Amino acid sequence: MKVFQNISWPVPAAIVAGASLMLLQATPLLAAAPQAAGDTAWWVWVLALFLFSFLLGIVAVLAGVGGGVLFVPIVSGFFPFHLDYVRGAGLLVALAGALSAGPPLMRKGLADLKLGLPMALVGSVSSIAGALVGLAMPAQNVQLLLGIVIISIAGIMIKSGRSGYPEVSQPDRLSQMLGISGLYYEEFGQHEVFWQVHRTPQGIALFFVIGFIGGMFGLGAGFANVPVFNLLMGVPLKVAVATSGLVLSINGSAAAWVYLFKGAVLPLIAVPSIGGMMLGSKIGAKLLPKVNSRTIRMLVITILVLSGLRSLMKGLGI
Amino acid sequence: MTDKKGEKIYADRVQLAYAKTLDIVAHAVMLVIGAGYLLYIMQLLPLSVPIETVAGNWQLSSSELQAKLHLFSGWSCFASLPLLLHGDAVSYASVVMLSMATILCLATAVIVFFREKNHLFLMIAILQVVVLLVAASGVMTQSH
């Protein structure tokens, strides 16, 4: 957490400093700026995006979901940016978050490289394919599919349970061959937890699908990675969440290159999103013990359904 | 394995090496992203495309915007030093660095797997680096 705190300050600090100076110069800027969407000056949108990402960062941590899954449908629905840049920014938001949180989780043995690498290898290939397909499709079709995916994710969140320490009586042959197993210290119960996995081939197949969806829509795919690790393969929840971040950082990096080469990354949009989300996540982590996370989770599911419906409507041209 | 305080370490060598590289790279990248964005939006360096122009067209798709404004894409911000001395180029370059971070960490893992003679994971890690390098080369997007 200390590392995370250290890492996360420069980006938000730069944006807050910049935005504050912009506000001081508001009058001349308002007069000088060509209008972006409607009659609103560009810096208002950038500041709004930062504040909005900040709030999303808080809510995402409290609800136990990745930021990207909330960011893309909501920002694409309510901000004037084309969906291409929102997806590009969404991937970078997920990537930056995963990179920042990674080091302490890896040192504690929670994010496991041997578990994550085979899944990331498959997922990164499909995420590149997904990004290529997504950027080649008309935005309206992507918006329609995004709506369907987001509503499905809300469905998964409602239905899927979570298992702290799933039992794996017999690891499968592939996981034995790869040597996928581990040991970590459970600080809550103060005991060591040994884990091993099963159904590795099915897991790899699902990570291929998840990677494609993540790349296509610019979503961090933690919503799907975690249930596959935890419920299908029998990975303890904490290891599943931490290793999901590792997989996400590799898949997100692969797909981000497609967006970069297609000109779908505008720093003007991406950086305030990254900064806001990271700062919000930090605050969210501090608030976590004090709030009823179940209520927040239901709120997020409701938001997801609403933003999914809005995406559907935009996709249908309504 | 134990640390300097004698406490048990639950991560193996490759994880510790990966985490160390990630820690350094992530710190550096976040600093550069923050500084680069300040240079950009405060217009402390000249811009190749004014912010107002970008914002005036951000409702266009990426292909339309590229055709109209020729903004930075791929590695184009590194085409020349004079070009890189623009605020928007610095900010864009910082995002490129963010995308490179994972490759550097995986390169560390490749070295450790090689030293440990873990041939299976050495191959997986090399393949993963190759996938990311192919993506970073832009070959996939050019042929598409």
Instruction: Answer whether residue A45 shows pLDDT above 80.
Output: yes
Chunk chain B into consecutive blocks of 10 residues (it has 144) and report each block's average pLDDT, rounded to whole numbers. Answer: 69 90 89 93 93 92 92 90 92 93 94 93 95 92 64
Interface contact B124-A275, CB threshold 8 A:
no
Q: What is the pLDDT of residues B101-114, one digit of tens each?
A: 999 999 999 999 99
B125: in domain: yes
Q: How far is CA A289 from the centre of its chain?
A: 22
| Candidate from A13, A18, A36 with C-beta closest to B55 | A36
Between A55 and A190, the more confident residue is A55
> Is residue B117 left, alpha or beta, with left meaning phi > 0 and alpha meaning psi from -120 to 50?
left
- Kindly report the three-state secondary structure assignment for every residue of chain A: CHHHHHHHCHHHHHHHHHHHHHHHCHHHHHHHCCCCCCCCCHHHHHHHHHHHHHHHHHHHHHHCCCHHHHHHHHHHHHCCCCHHHHHHHHHHHHHHHHHHHHHHHHHCCCCCHHHHHHHHHHHHHHHHHHHHHHHHCCHHHHHHHHHHHHHHHHHHHHHCCCCCCCCCCCCCHHHHHHCCEEEEEECCCCEEEEEECCCHHHHHHHHHHHHHHHHHHCCCCHHHHHHHHHHHCCCCHHHHHHHHHHHHHHHHHHHHHHHHHCCCCCHHHHHHHHHHHHHHHHHHHHHHHHCCHHHHHHHHHHHHHHHHHHHHHHHCCC
Q: What is the pLDDT at residue A27?
A: 36
Using alpha carbons only, give the angle A110, A114, A115 rounded to the nearest 5 degrees: 65
Number of folded domains that form chain B: 1
Report the percent of chain A where pLDDT is more than 90. 25
What are the residue boundaries of the structural domains of chain A, listed by start? 2-315
Residues from chain A that touch B54, judged by Cβ atoms under 8 A, are: 42, 266, 268
Provide the pLDDT confidence category of residue A289 given band limits of 50, 70 and 90. low
Contact (CB, 8 A) for A290 and A284:
no
Q: What is the pLDDT of residues A5-36, one digit of tens each?
A: 444 455 555 544 554 444 444 433 333 333 44
- Share the mean pLDDT of chain A: 80
| Candidate from A92, A121, A139 with C-beta closest to B128 | A121
Q: Closest residue of A to B43, CA-based?
A: A18
Q: Distance between CA A261 and CA A58 in Å, rounded?
A: 31
Q: What is the pLDDT at residue A89?
A: 93
Listed by number, the residues of chain A in 182-211 with a beta carbon closer than 8 Å to a beta carbon of chain B are: 182-185
The DSSP bridge partners found for residue A192 are A185
B122: in domain: yes
Report the percent of chain A where pLDDT is more than 70. 81
Residues from chain B that touch A178, judged by Cβ atoms under 8 A, are: 120-121
CA A199 to chain B, closest CA, distance in angstroms equals 19
Q: What is the pLDDT of residues A292-308, one digit of tens each?
A: 666 767 777 887 788 78
Residue range(s) defining the domain that contains residue B39 = 13-143
Q: Distance between CA B99 and CA B79 in Å, rounded?
A: 18
Mean pLDDT computed over A90-105 = 84
Interface contact A18-B42, CB threshold 8 A:
yes
Cα A165 to Cα A20, A227, A233, distances in angstroms: 47, 13, 11
Residues from chain B that touch A15, judged by Cβ atoms under 8 A, are: 34, 37
Q: What is the pLDDT of residues A57-93, one digit of tens each?
A: 888 777 666 677 788 888 888 889 998 999 999 989 8
Provide the pLDDT confidence category of residue A103 given band limits of 50, 70 and 90. confident
Q: What is the pLDDT at residue A3?
A: 40
Residue A253, amino acid: S
Cα A147 to Cα A66, A143, A180, A212, A316, distances in angstroms: 17, 6, 36, 16, 10
Instruction: Answer whether residue A158 shows pLDDT above 50.
Output: yes
Q: What is the pLDDT at residue A63?
A: 67
Q: What is the pLDDT of residues A227-242, one digit of tens each?
A: 888 888 988 888 888 8
Q: Distance between CA A85 and CA A15 in Å, rounded?
A: 19
B7: in domain: no
Q: Distance between CA B141 and CA B74 in Å, rounded?
A: 10
Q: What is the pLDDT at residue A270?
A: 94
Q: What is the pLDDT at residue A298?
A: 77
Q: What is the pLDDT at residue A230?
A: 85
Q: Is A30 on the interface with B (CB under 8 A)?
A: no
Listed by number, the residues of chain B in 2-61 with a beta carbon closer than 8 Å to a beta carbon of chain A are: 8-11, 14-16, 18-20, 22-23, 25-27, 29-31, 33-38, 40-42, 51-56, 58-61
Provide the pLDDT confidence category of residue A1 given band limits of 50, 70 and 90. very low
Residues from chain A that touch B140, judged by Cβ atoms under 8 A, are: 128, 132, 258, 261
B49: in domain: yes
Q: What is the pLDDT at residue A99?
A: 82
B8: in domain: no
Mean pLDDT computed over A130-150 = 85
